[in-house]
Amino acid sequence: MRSRTAEPAAVPKAFVAAVLAMALLGAVGTVPSIGVASTPPPTPVPPHGSPSPFPTALRTPTPSAVPPKLTSPSAVLEDLRTGQVLYAKKADLRRPIASITKIMTALVVLEEASPGEEVVVSAKAAGTRASQLGLVTGERISVRQLLYALLMQSANDAAVALAEHVGGSVAGFVELMNRKAEEIGIHRTHFVDPAGLEDRGNSTAKDVAAVVRAAYMEPLFARITRTKFHKIPAPSGRARRIQNRNILLWLYPGAIGAKTGFTTPAQHCLVAAADRAGVRLVAVALGSRGDDAAGVFDDGAALLNFGYEAFQQTVLVARGQTLGRVTVEGQRVDAVAGDELIKLVRKDQIPNIFRAFLPDTGLFLPVVAGQRVGEELVVIAGKRAGRVEAVAIRTVFRPTPRASPSPELGPLRTGSLAAALRLLAAVLKSLLDAFL
C-alpha cells in the first residue's frame, strides 16, 4: 500500500525547512531523502485527525565516537545480524518492558500460524483495555491484519485475539512465549501475557535484543515494522486506518523498525532498528522517564548515531582465505578459512587487529579436503574478537611406501633382462670352469 505523507505539495520548500530544522537540532548525521515526511503527520483520529502525540523532532548531540549519555536506565546497542554488543548500560537488569512484549507475541504467531488464517474475535479479546484496534465480538479477521495492528498500533485486543487463536487460550499462548524464550537462549525473561499490560512480566535490554534478532528472521515482521500507514477492514465496511507509533521512521535516516512501549511501571521503552549501507543495528532503551516519549526516542537515535559514527564493518577473515600450512606425518597440508568473520570494529582500534594461525595437534593422514586442521584467532586491542576454523584445501594421502631391494635378488629387481641374462651366463661359466 502506498504510504501517505504530511508533506506539502511544494517539496523543495519542505525539504529546505527539514534540513534547517535538523541542522539546528543536531538530530541526525544525514538528511532524509526528498519525498519522505520529516515529521509524523497527525494521528488518524476521525474525522480530521489530531496532532501527533509523539515528538516531531529529535534532541540528540552531534554524532560522535563518544558513547552517549542516556536518560534510560537500561540500554544496549547491538549488530542486528550477529548480536555483537557495541554499547551496554545495565543491559542485564530485569525490568517490565510494556508493549515491547508484543515482539515475542508476533514471533510466536509467525512461527505457529499462517498469515492468511482467519481469526474469530472473542468477547474477551474485544473487551481488552487500553490501546485497541476496535475489534468487535464475532468479527472475522486475518492473522496478517491482526499482526499489523499488534506491531504498528500496539493494539492489545489484537494481541489477545492472536493469543487465543494460536494458543487455544491466553495462558496456553504464554506457555509458548516462555518456551520460545528458552529456545532463543534468554534466561532473564518471563512473560505473563501477550500484550505487556501485566507488569509482573519482565525482561532485559540484552534479552529483548535477542528476541528482535529472531523476529527479523521473519520477512513479514520486518515488513510490518517499517510500515508507516496501513488500513484494516472493519465490519462496518469503513476501513480502520492505523499509523506506526515509532516516530524514528520519520525522523531517523535509515530507520527500519521496530516497536515502542509504555506503562507506568515500565515507563517509556523503545526498540529501534536501522540500516545504513547494509550495516544493521538495533538499539534497546528501557525505562526512560518523562511526561512524553521524547527522551526514549532521543536515546534510541543517540545510540544508533554512536554505532554508525564509532564503528566500521570490517572483514577480519574471508571465506577461502589462505591461512597457513600444517605438516602431518611429513606431508604439507595447506589450510584455508572455512568461514568468514565480519565484525563491527571501533575505528580507532582498526590498527590494533592481530591474527594468528593455530594448527591442530594429533592429526594423521589421510587429511580429507574440508577437514579441520586448525583455527585462525583474531585479537583486537588485546581482546579476542573471534576465531574461524581452518580446513584443508585438498585431500592429502599417506605416500605409498617403496619396496626395499633384496640383497640376493637386488640386481634382478633393478637391472634389465639383458643384465640378468649376462649374470646367469657368468654363473654357468664359473661352474663349467670348475670341472675343466
pLDDT of residue 32: 33
Give the N- to C-terminal CA distance of the chain in Å, as an integer.
119
Q: What is the mean pLDDT of residues 161-188?
A: 97
Q: What is the mean pLDDT of residues 415-435?
A: 50
What are the catalytic residues? Answer: 99, 102, 154
Q: What is the mean pLDDT of residues 377-386?
A: 95
Residues 30-74: tens digit of each pLDDT? 333 323 445 666 555 444 445 556 777 888 888 888 999 999 999
Q: What is the DSSP letter of 394?
A: S
d(CA 160, CA 133): 12
pLDDT at position 82 over 50: yes
d(CA 82, CA 80): 6
pLDDT at position 421 over 70: no
pLDDT at position 15 over 50: no
Q: How confident is residue 185, by pLDDT bands cut at 50, 70 and 90?
A: very high
- The answer to whether 308 and 276 are in contact (CB under 8 A) is yes
Within its chain, how far is the Cα of 204 from the centroid? 17
Q: How confident is residue 10, by pLDDT bands cut at 50, 70 and 90?
A: very low
Q: Which is higher by pLDDT, 13 or 134? A: 134
pLDDT of residue 403: 62
Q: What is the mean pLDDT of residues 408-413?
A: 43
Residues 343-356: tens digit of each pLDDT? 999 999 999 999 99
> Of 228, 49, 263, 55, nearest to 152 (Cα)?
228
**Which residue type occupies 405?**
P
Q: Which three cell numbers stand for residue 275?
A: 540500516
Q: Which three cell numbers stand for residue 86?
A: 557495541
pLDDT at position 401 over 90: no
Which 3 state secondary structure label does DSSP give 95? strand
Q: Which residue bears the cell 496456553? A: 172
Q: Kindly calculate the radius of gyration of the chain based on its CA atoms and give it in whole angstroms.
A: 33
Q: What is the mean pLDDT of residues 237-263?
A: 93
pLDDT of residue 122: 97
pLDDT at position 101 over 50: yes
Q: Please provide the DSSP assignment of 53-80 as one string.
A: SS-SS---PPP-SSPPP-SSSEEEEEET
Query: Is omega for the bond preceding 126 within 30 degrees of 0, making it cis?
Result: no
pLDDT of residue 130: 81
d(CA 230, CA 2): 9
